[in-house]
Structure 1
Amino acid sequence: MRFITITLIVHAPDPITGAVPSTADRFRAVLDSALLAEELGFDGFGVGERHERPFISSSPTVVLSHVAALTRRIRLFTAVTTLSLLDPVRAFEDYATLDHLAGGRLELIIGKGNGAAQRDLFHVTPEDQWDRNAESYEVFRRLWRDNKITYDTRFRPPLREAEVWPRPLQRPIRIWHGSATSRESVDLAARYGDPLFSANVTNPIEPYAELVRYYRERWAHYGHDPAAIAVGAGTAGYYAARNSQDALDAYRPVFEGQLAFQKSLGMQPVFSTLEDFVERSSALIGSPAQIVEKVHRYHERFGHSVLHLHAEASGLTAAQHRASLELFQSDIAPVLRRELPDPPWGWGPGPIGLPEPP
């Protein structure tokens, strides 16, 4: 199994202190998180894309380009690239450039995106969002294989022998499909034989497990090799300590602060107590043994080979966050790497399909 950390770059009050960092400080914290992930041996670092409050992750290519310059080994993920909102040609140019700057370490997780505000910003309707996502992905996919294409697009000017530069370093890049609630993204991933990344953060396991089951069903329907399937899954929270009660005690104020923030936005929390959150959500909070057991439990339903943790402290102190990630790498990751399979491809710091550099 492989492990990545992800940030959506939420710019909101600290759930415990209420302090709001400056925008510059918030971005510096993201860079620090990326450096920490590489230092501790995580396999990837991801940056989300949102175009509405309370997020400031509207330019993941810019952020990841800076991360690429500061790191050497870790693979760089988008989480997710909202293709339904973007011109696929412009997005391709950005990501092809980033792939070169990153030395072939880029991986995309694409999706239609969530949120009415960002739909309104880009004049995208709920009715056409899925069609836009599918069309943009098809253009993106073709460009990654041939930078001169003809395509009768519906949502942007048609392409006639259009040339797009630069060519990316990786041809093709690996593209994951992010899935939270809908079968459309799952079917699109299965149709093209692409890996799936389940959000797995808001609800109990059942709706996500059903989508993964459907993905495997559609994968077989389209005639792909079952051995080539790869699934990733998110987590709703993470904090580990040697003693499970210490982990609960440390995380309780974080959970209560997040609960208050959700209520301030008029959201109805799915999990109203920390105990329920730990029991029924995908959150990994407890002792190393408890976390290993829970990942195994989810693996029985998902068969996933990539797992993401939150990249940032999100209410924990910097010392708590670092100690918890160190404990993950010393006591949790080695067990899961040994007992659960990797994705069915090589995983290194260079371009896909090429040998790792010495």
Structure 2
Amino acid sequence: MELGISTFAEVLPDPQTGVTISHGERLRDIVEEIEMADKVGLDVYAVGEHHREDYAVSAPEVVLAAGAARTKDIRLSSAVTVLSSDDPVRVHERFAMLDGISGGRAEIMAGRGSFIESFPLFGYDLNDYNELFEEKLDLLLKLQKGGPVSWSGNHRAPLNGLEVFPKPDQDQIPIWIASGGTPDSTVRAGKLGLPLVLAIIGGSPQNFAPLVELYKQTAARSGHKVENLGIGSHSHGFVWDTDEEAAELFFPPTRQAMNKIGRERGWGNYTTRSFDIARSPKGALYCGSPETVAQKIIDLRKNVGIKRFLLHTPLGTMPHDQVMQSIQLFGEKVAPIVREEIDAWEGK
């Protein structure tokens, strides 16, 4: 069971003080968070891409490279790279550089993007939303294999036997497909035999079990070895000493962040009741003591089949020292409980 941290590098007014830190300060905080995650033995740290005022990272590989120089073991991934509005050649080049700096620890999590600001910014038509992703993923997968590439499509110039440099340290940089939980994206990942990450941020995580089964069945029918495929999830959460203290600290920034996005997308108001339902044993919020969070992750592995879990923390803006302590507790307290229980369950 792989365990890690994900962040979107939110920059919102602190719900307690009203102060908004600079983008630069949040970026520097992330580098320290990556360092902490590596120190406490977590497996992966993943950073999202956005192009708007309330998020600090537009190029995940840049801040990941800064973290790579200060870490030894942790794998470094985007969460996600908005492939539809980027150039696959440049994506591969940048992550190959990250791979070299980190000594072979880079990963790409490719997605279509739930935020659309990058499309007008880089001159893409939202009417081509699905076609852009499929075409660019096809090129990225050809680049992943290495060697001269010949390719043509509708949304970029063709490649005629060209190679892309620099070469990564790994034979191939892993490419994960990020999905919000649609059957189409799940089937796509299964057909291609690519590892899948599900964003489970609402409802009951157990409702995603049929999607995981669909993914496995599709992969098997397409000739891929299911046991070798990565299946991950990303969920909001926060670890503290007790359930009550965790809830007290995490609710204000969670409410602020969820209501801000909710106003843009027409969601209902996020309330204390919403929060309490989400952090209950069957909910998708992993907020509580180490024991509480560990048990929810164990249930996720046993009931849904998730092999990699990313705790998205913080959600919204929280004091940096609280985020650092939460990551430390996740690595030092939660991870050993989860790994010991899963190893025993699987008979290792």
TM-score computed with the length of structure 2 as normaliser: 0.88
- The answer to whether structure 1 residue 14 and structure 2 residue 14 are counterparts is yes
For the 8 Å contact 1:147–1:167, the answer to whether it is kept is: no
Identity %: 28
Q: AA paired with 2:101?
A: L
Alpha-carbon separation, structure 2, partners of 1:94 and 1:315: 28
Alpha-carbon separation, structure 2, partners of 1:320 and 1:125: 41
For the 8 Å contact 1:134–1:188, the answer to whether it is kept is: no
Shift of 1:307: 0.9
Q: In the TM superposition, what whole-angstrom CA distance separates every residue of 1:32-66 from its partner, at most 9, and x where no partner exists?
A: 11111112221111111122342231111221221
Q: In the TM superposition, what whole-angstrom CA distance separates every residue of 1:8-46 from its partner, at most 9, and x where no partner exists?
A: 112221233221112221211111111111122211111
Q: How does 1:109-258 map to 2 (within 5 A)?
A: 109-205=109-205, 208-241=208-241, 243-258=242-257
The 3 A distance-change label for structure 1 pair 29 and 124 is same
Q: AA paired with 1:142?
A: K
Q: Which residue does the alignment assign to 1:328?
A: 330
Between the two proteins, the alignment pairs up a number of residues equal to 341
For the 8 Å contact 1:190–1:216, the answer to whether it is kept is: yes
Structure 2, unaligned runs of 5 or more: none
For the 8 Å contact 1:111–1:179, the answer to whether it is kept is: yes
CA-atom RMSD, angstroms? 2.4
Shift of 1:144: 2.2
TM-score computed with the length of structure 1 as normaliser: 0.86
For the 8 Å contact 2:186–2:215, the answer to whether it is kept is: yes
Alpha-carbon separation, structure 2, partners of 1:265 and 1:180: 18
The 3 A distance-change label for structure 1 pair 82 and 251 is closer
Q: Which residue does the alignment assign to 2:279?
A: 278
- The answer to whether structure 1 residue 290 and structure 2 residue 289 are counterparts is no
Shift of 1:314: 4.5
Alpha-carbon separation, structure 2, partners of 1:7 and 1:190: 26
SS at 2:236 equivalent: coil
Alpha-carbon separation, structure 1, partners of 2:202 and 2:327: 22
Q: In the TM superposition, what whole-angstrom CA distance separates every residue of 1:115-142 from its partner, at most 9, and x where no partner exists?
A: 2322222333344222221221221121
For the 8 Å contact 2:27–2:57, the answer to whether it is kept is: no
Structure 1, unaligned runs of 5 or more: 343-358
Alpha-carbon separation, structure 2, partners of 1:92 and 1:330: 34
For the 8 Å contact 1:305–1:341, the answer to whether it is kept is: no
Q: AA paired with 1:305?
A: K
Alpha-carbon separation, structure 1, partners of 2:51 and 2:318: 26
Q: How does 1:32-71 map to 2 (within 5 A)?
A: 32-71=32-71
Q: In the TM superposition, what whole-angstrom CA distance separates every residue of 1:200-236 from its partner, at most 9, and x where no partner exists?
A: 1244436643432321221122122232232111112
For the 8 Å contact 1:153–1:159, the answer to whether it is kept is: no
Q: Which residue does the alignment assign to 1:2?
A: 2
SS at 1:157 equivalent: coil
Shift of 1:315: 4.4
Q: AA paired with 2:27?
A: F
The 3 A distance-change label for structure 1 pair 50 and 207 is farther
The 3 A distance-change label for structure 1 pair 20 and 97 is same
Q: In the TM superposition, what whole-angstrom CA distance separates every residue of 1:42-98 from its partner, at most 9, and x where no partner exists?
A: 111111112234223111122122111122221111111111111111222211122
